Amino acid sequence: MNFDYDLFVIGGGSGGVRAARVAAGENGAKVALAEEDRYGGTCVIRGCVPKKLMVFASEYAGMAGDAREYGWKFGDTSFDWGLFRGKLHAELDRLEAIYRNILKNAGVETFDQRARLVDAHTVELADGTQKSAKHILIATGGHPVKPGLPGDELGITSNEIFNFDTLPKSILIVGGGYIACEFAGILNGLGVKTTQYYRGAQILRGFDDEARGLICEEMCQNGIDVHLGTTIIEMKKGATGIEVKATNGTTKVFDEVLLATGRVPNTAGLGLENTGVEMGRKGQIIVDKYSQTAVPSIYAIGDVTDRVNLTPVAIREGMGFVETVFKGNPTPVDHDLIPTAIFTQPEYGTIGLSEEDAREQEPIEIYSTSFRPMQTSFAGRNDRVLMKLVVSQASRKILGCHIVAPGAGEMIQLVGIAVKMGATKEDFDRTVAVHPTMSEELVTMKTPVRTA
């Protein structure tokens, strides 16, 4: 059978663009890609990139205070949201143009409209045009969802957080995951009176208890009003803002409410019911280790599969797909020991197992230290950082590493190489410390603080 394309990709985010570009540019395949929104996906347009730029912006207030303690003199500082937002949007436009050019230069035909599946080899565009393909790759990502409580239409999600005309004077953030905690730090740093409600006993569920406990303490020290074991009952429009009734018995008024209560895969309306593709209870597409669905011609990568929802993972999955389908080199995606950074304030870098998960699997030793770093201590701040290693008693391998500190993301990237290679505690011990740094503690901790 003759097909219009060797590959049709639905979704122009990082994973879909990488797969399309490599399949066409390096393998000579005839490829098309459809994207109904902006190219670059969640990460570039409404996620990692603008968020990280906002993190940078929010940290300068603290830096200015520290600079004065180090002897620098300058006048009053203030933040111009309008100036920053204009530059932010211009940068996102620039990055989107790069993504478009990548596809164009690779010879990928693009359609700026929604696509849905008609059958195992056919997609239909929003204008009614149908295209056939030998292989179809779904890379449509996910989107934030609201909790379904009375009045939640008054709240915003992380998709809208970058588009304020003016910064609110006060905001309530509902949720305790990394998105909620990151934006709590960002908005607090930009001068917004920030309150956070989370229904659980501690923020960042699923991560190492010691690390998330320190992050929560530091967030509170930084001025964020964190209420654990608390969530909203209802919201309604008041005379001066959004009135929020909470489970802690209070009713408070906020200028804005950010609902960071979860994300779901973008599978609604894709026509998957026409194909026999299997889906999970959250709406995610079920795939095997090669990202292949129950329908042999259809593959899926990235957040739409709800495996490990990180941009670099989606890109790896896209590359694995191309290796498997177009290079004849079956390549399963390795989801083990993925280093991750959470851009809370303080930042959190982690790889491997938490202490809690590790001790469920085998006997372990914990090497951990928390201290005031030199830079901020000299400036009179009481900030604390954490360096922690989870070590197997039997193999001596590093099962987990947890860093809560400025620059933790940069550190964990390099630690991740060693841990991925199977480094032992003795390998760390043999490494000479770089002094004076925070990270030298990772190679100078000689005695476990506890075993389990």
Catalytic residues: 435
To which H or E segment does residue 332 belong?
A: none
C-alpha pair distances (Å), 413 with each of 50, 237, 335, 373, 416: 21, 45, 16, 20, 5
Backbone region of residue 30 per phi and psi (left: phi > 0; alpha: psi in -120 to 50; beta: other values): beta
* Angle at CA of residue 144, ends 142 and 149, nearest 5°: 145
In DSSP terms, which residues pair with 31 in a beta bridge? 7
Q: Identify the three-state secondary structure at position 80.
A: coil
Provide the token pair at 140. Answer: 């449509």
Residues with Cβ within 8 Å of 122's Cβ and at least 6 positions away in sequence, in order, are: 130, 131, 132, 133
Cα–Cα distance for residue pair 298/282, rounded to 1 Å: 19
Q: Work out the number of other CB atoms within 10 angstroms of the CB of residue 421.
A: 10
Question: Helix-strand-coil percent breakdown of the chain, rounded to 5?
Answer: 35, 25, 40
Residues with Cβ within 8 Å of 161's Cβ and at least 6 positions away in sequence, in order, are: 183, 258
Contact 409, 345 (CB under 8 A): no
Cα–Cα distance for residue pair 419/412, rounded to 1 Å: 10
Evaluate the omega torsion of the peptide bond into residue 346 and state whether it is cis, within 30 degrees of 0.
yes
* Angle at CA of residue 235, ends 232 and 237, nearest 5°: 155
Sheet with 398-404: strands ordered across: 340-342, 348-352, 398-404, 385-392, 364-371, 450-451
